[in-house]
Amino acid sequence: MSRMISIVFASLLVAGCAQTKFHMQERDDSQAATYNEAQHYFIYGLGQQKNLDPAAICGSAERVARVETQTTFVNGLVGAITFGIYTPRQTRIYCR
């Protein structure tokens, strides 16, 4: 049992948060996300592809201000607990 705890603890130590941002317009951090949902991936996301259309969500491509994807601490914790079987990522789309 202590070996299992050590493995989980070591997984948490090496797991990091990652974030990708695409700014299409000037940055406005006070803006609330129009779309903010977790995308579900399995087996570390191998061979999987999730498609979102920010232009459809915002009404047109000109209205898209920013797109972000992020592996939060909670997402990483869930991935570590499930040994990578389930690995969610947070996706946010900001419209103007």
pLDDT in tens, 7-65: 766 665 555 566 666 666 665 666 788 888 888 888 877 767 778 889 999 999 888 88
- Residue 28: domain span: 2-95
* Residue 65: predicted pLDDT: 87
Domain tally, the chain: 1
Q: What is the pTM of this model?
A: 0.69
pLDDT in tens, 6-15: 776 666 555 5
- Amino acid at the residue 22: F
Q: What is the dihedral of CA 58, 37, 40, 75, to 10 degrees?
A: 140
The residue ranking higher by pLDDT, 87 or 8, is: 87
